[in-house]
Amino acid sequence: MVDVVEIERTASRISVAPHKHWERAEAEALYNLPFADLMFQAQGVHRANFNPNHVETASLLSIKTGGCPEDCGYCSQSAQYDTGLKATRLMPRDEVVAVAQRAKDAGATRFCMAAAWRSPKDRDLDQVCDMVSAVKGLGMETCVTLGMLTPDQAERLSEAGLDFYNHNVDTSPEYYDKIITTRTLQDRIDTLAHVRDAGIKVCCGGIIGMGEQVDDRLGMLMLLANLPSHPESVPINLWNEVKGVPVNDTAERPDPIALVRLVATARIMMPQSVVRLSAGRQYMTDELQAMCFLAGANSIFIGDVLLTTKNPQRDRDADLLDRLGITSRLA
């Protein structure tokens, strides 16, 4: 008998179109274009690849919070810093499914489950696979972010029907060691390759506002755009302030125009990737978000909290998208 699921998974492994290699000078030249020229180019690319009047809505749930052994200098969930966060155990499947159902009713099309692990233990992965199958059964797209994976673990998630795996490069290769020391950038690239090889779509981006320079932000985009294939989803997070973590010593909220330029540059460098305006929307005005959508951002997280930090209220998002004539599942 023909195994349709296996055929689809194999097809997704081989159907990735080749893409150009980005040199630093090219990325810089784009980013530094006069603003109107950059926006014009970004909108052309956006319109050629997407409905420019539509934004995807995803919802996040922390299924296992805090107590993480990694030292990511921005994160409330690292056990290495005193952030005042209470650690919790892995949530039971039925509770997760109930939250996913509420997220679907509130207008989310994708449900992303996050766990504060360096990497999952095999018995934890069994439970996550169960959650993935159950959430998929609600008719939602599924995404998980569980830390580093072995090839076998990625394969098991794929067999459970997982659509996306989120694993960020976080920042540029040059700035990386100032933020994280317990896991290397190469470790991350290896996990991304295992995810890709298992036929799961890749969600990979990073954070700005941690004290990095524009060069680092462009270095991060080059890293993403020069992966063997572009991530299907590229989350751009603005650092959501967390007390007690080292990033407080260097953090600087980026100039809003610099954020719009970065989104436009990401749109042009990765034409077919969905660019998600992720954490940090709580600090953005309606006008700034509108500019980011014009520049090519076409996904947001909805819901009052992300994992442990704040996100705009659903009604504010619904009102903003309505005023912009942007369609979404948020009515």
Q: Which are the catalytic amino acids?
A: 68, 72, 75, 112, 143, 203, 276
Q: Please identify, using beta-carbon distances, which residue of 22 and 301 lies nearer to ligand SF4.
A: 301
Q: Please identify, using beta-carbon distances, which residue of 284 and 318 lies nearer to ligand SAM.
A: 284
CB 157 within 8 A of CB 130: no
CA separation (Å) from 217 to 17, 213, 233?
25, 7, 17
- Residue 310, SS3 per DSSP: strand
Nearest distance, CB of residue 75 and ligand SAM, angstroms: 4
Contact call for residue 225 and ligand SAM (CB under 6 A): no
Nearest distance, CB of residue 325 and ligand DTB, angstroms: 27
Q: Please identify, using beta-carbon distances, which residue of 153 and 168 lies nearer to ligand SAM.
A: 168
Residue 254 CA to residue 239 CA, distance in Å, equals 10
| Number of CB atoms found within 10 A of residue 16's CB | 12
Interaction partner, residue 239 (ligand SAM, ligand DTB, ligand SF4, none; CB < 5-8 Å by kind): ligand SAM
How does 174-209 read in b/e, with b if 16+ C-beta sit within 10 Å? Answer: ebbebbbeebebebbeebbebbbebbbbbbbbbbbb
Contact call for residue 114 and ligand DTB (CB under 6 A): yes
CB 61 within 8 A of CB 114: yes
Backbone angles phi, psi at 203, to 5 degrees: -115, 115
Contact call for residue 119 and ligand SAM (CB under 6 A): no
Contact call for residue 74 and ligand SAM (CB under 6 A): yes
Q: What angle do CA 134, 140, 141 make, to 5 degrees?
A: 100
Q: Please identify, using beta-carbon distances, which residue of 63 and 291 lies nearer to ligand SF4.
A: 63
Count of residues of this chain found to bind ligand DTB when the rule CB under 6 A is applied: 17
Nearest distance, CB of residue 88 and ligand SF4, angstroms: 13
| Number of CB atoms found within 10 A of residue 140's CB | 20
Residues that bind ligand SF4 (CB under 6 A): 68, 70, 72, 75, 77-78, 116, 147
Contact call for residue 113 and ligand DTB (CB under 6 A): no
Nearest of 47, 58, 48, 54 to residue 203 by alpha carbon: 58
Write out the residues near ligand SAM by the rule CB under 6 A: 74-75, 114, 116-117, 145, 147, 167-168, 170, 206-207, 237, 239-240, 242, 279, 307, 309
Write out the residues near ligand DTB by the rule CB under 6 A: 60, 76, 112, 114, 145, 166, 168, 205, 235, 237, 240, 278-279, 306-309
